[in-house]
Each structure stands twice: as C-alpha cells, then as structure tokens.
C-alpha cells in the first residue's frame, strides 16, 4: 500500500485536498499521513514548515500538497521559509511538470527546472547605491538533468517534440549555457524525437496565438513559472491546472493555484486541479490506468458542464466531487 503525506495548507487547500482524497479512495487503497505547513502553521508553531513535516514527507512514497498563504513581506521577518520551496529543496524535486490539456484541442506540457534561477533567493539591497540585486543561478548539472528529464518524458509519453524556451540573445551566459546544453543533448536524441528552441517573449505570444506549435516545453525556473500560468488561461484557468514536482527519490503533487482566501470556506473552490494532480501522482506510482480513469471521469464532468462558479457553473466543491465519483462508478472499478 502506497503511503501519501497529505499537506492541506491554508485557505481552499483544506477543501480541495480532501476532495482529491475522496476520488483517490474510489480507485485504490492508500495510507494517508497528515502533516502541517503554511501561514496557519507559522502562527501556531513559529515555523511555516516544521522539521516534523519534512521528515514525514521523506518517509512517504509521495506528497499531496494543497496551497499556502504567504505572509506579507513586512511580517515574520527572518522567521518565514516558503513551505513549497523548502520541500523542493529538501526532497531535491528538480523537475516541475505542468500539463496544459483542455481534453479537446490543446495538449502540451511545460517542464520547468525547479531548484535554480532567481528562486535560489540570493538577493540583497545596496544601501549606498540604492540598488536591489538578485543572483540568477543556472548550473551545468541542473540544466543537464532537467533537459534529459524532458526528453525522456517526451519519449515515455509518446510526444513528438521538445522545445527549449530561453532568452539567450540577452542573457548570453546563463541562458546561453542552458541553450547550449539543450542542443548538445538534443543531438543525442535526434533519432527518437524532434527538438527546437524559441525566445521566451515570442513564446508568450505563440502560446496565446498558436498553442498547437508546442508539445513538450523545457525551460528555466522563472520563465516556466510565468509561462505555465499564462498557458493555464487557455484551458479555463488555474482551477484546471495540475502539477508534479519530481526528483530522483521523491514526488510532490499540487494544484498550480493558490490558497484563494477570498473564497475559502464558501464551498465553491474548484477541486479539479488537485484531483488531476492526484492522477499525476498515480502515474508516478506506476498506476497509469487508474490515473487515466480519473482523467476520463473529469473530462466527462467538464463536457457536461457540471462545474464550479469559476468555470461558469453553479455547483459546490462537494457536488463536483460527487459528479466525478458518479462517472468513476459508471465503469468497472479498478483495483
């Protein structure tokens, strides 16, 4: 039996994660180990992600993560550490995988390096010069492993092309390194899969104008973060956008959306991104058939328009879950 570390977090995380667990329980038997993280945890324990939570995550087969509310920059100075960034670092989750799929016409995957770039948090303010400076870290090792991951993902999932997104015409050293390594690795895979590259600003336009141009995108941390949020608008918004954080030993699965404190507790949060993230977790476990069963049930519910207000519907979170479960039960149960 697979053991899942469950971190609901803050806001609607406490609503969408239990929703996903109800769906998971329809397709298999799992052991759930609950842990705390987020702003409420910070107020309670003085730490947004206690060491106990990190240890629980390491003891499980995967982590199902909800959403957290970050404190204001003026609050908890020196005492706050981002739970998701901490887990990515502690578990060495270097690959962020974000599928963009509307179950009709759009079907692409954005694979983003997850541990480097400006997200290393090395920034400072020069009082004398009145300049704020952030370091951008792009390493040979980090670039090689995310690019190889992207090509292997493409091959294993019957994809046709990998596109490198960069800004090497301006960031000649950092993105220059990333692009050079991409081309070197691409040459080794050229008999199995096509590859090309685009500037990030042009890609932002192409995603809106012609998303069918792309299949698998691989890029650096910041660019991937921005482009994946942009691309989610093509399929109905962040409420439909799942993601996986994957390393050599661990996997963490979470919806792309935030904690949405404005609607928390109202019972109208869209649970589909979290449910699709749980399906990605099943893929990670080698339970692809069960993952597909969930995705197909979600597809049918979307086609019938049985959705929450963010998608133009009028159903509650729990009602959407009930509809997905009805669809699951309409087919032979997979065990």
Q: Could you give the residue numbers annotated as active site?
A: 119, 167, 201, 225, 229
How does 145-183 read in b/e, with b if 16+ C-beta sit within 10 Å? bbbbbbbebbeeeebeebbbbbbbeebeebbbbbbebbe
Q: Are 269 and 20 in contact (CB under 8 A)?
A: no
Quick one: tokens of 241?
A: 């956008």
For residue 242, give both structure tokens.
Answer: 């799942």
Q: What angle do CA 222, 226, 229 make, to 5 degrees?
A: 140
Name the residue among 300, 292, 301 with its Cα closest to residue 319: 301
Distance CA 287, CA 95 (A): 20
Nearest to residue 13, comparing CAs of 243, 252, 273, 210?
A: 273
- Beta-ladder partners of 251: 246
**Alpha-helix residue ranges (DSSP H) falling in the chain:** 13-27, 39-45, 51-59, 83-90, 140-156, 174-189, 200-209, 221-232, 272-284, 288-303, 317-329
């Amino acid at each position: 039996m697979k053991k899942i570390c469950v971190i609901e977090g803050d806001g609607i995380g406490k609503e969408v994660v239990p929703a996903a667990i109800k769906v998971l329980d329809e397709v298999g038997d799992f052991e759930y180990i609950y842990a705390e993280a987020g702003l409420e945890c910070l107020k309670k324990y003085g730490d947004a992600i206690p060491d106990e939570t990190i240890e629980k995550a390491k003891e499980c087969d995967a982590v199902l993560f909800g959403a957290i509310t970050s404190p204001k920059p003026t609050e908890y100075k020196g005492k706050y550490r981002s739970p998701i960034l901490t887990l990515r670092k502690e578990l060495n989750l270097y690959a962020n995988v974000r599928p963009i799929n509307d179950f009709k016409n759009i079907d692409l995957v954005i694979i983003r390096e997850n541990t480097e770039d400006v997200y290393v948090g090395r920034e400072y303010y020069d009082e004398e010069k009145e300049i704020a400076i952030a370091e951008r870290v792009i390493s040979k090792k980090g670039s090689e492993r995310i690019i190889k991951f992207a090509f292997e993902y493409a091959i294993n999932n019957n994809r046709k092309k990998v596109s490198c997104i960069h800004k090497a015409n301006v960031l000649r050293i950092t993105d220059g390194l990333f692009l050079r390594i991409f081309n070197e690795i691409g040459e080794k895979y050229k008999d199995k899969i096509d590859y090309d590259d685009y500037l990030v600003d042009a890609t932002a336009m192409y995603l809106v104008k012609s998303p069918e141009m792309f299949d698998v995108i691989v890029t650096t941390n910041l660019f991937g973060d921005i482009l994946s949020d942009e691309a989610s608008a093509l399929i109905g918004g962040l409420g439909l956008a799942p993601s996986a954080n994957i390393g050599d030993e661990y996997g963490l699965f979470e919806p792309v959306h935030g904690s949405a404190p404005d609607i928390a507790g109202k019972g109208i949060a869209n649970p589909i991104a979290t449910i699709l993230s749980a399906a990605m977790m099943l893929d990670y476990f080698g339970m692809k058939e069960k993952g597909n069963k969930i995705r197909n049930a979600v597809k049918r519910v979307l086609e019938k328009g049985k959705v929450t207000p963010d998608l133009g519907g009028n159903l509650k979170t729990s009602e959407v879950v009930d509809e997905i479960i009805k669809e699951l039960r309409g087919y032979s149960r997979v065990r």
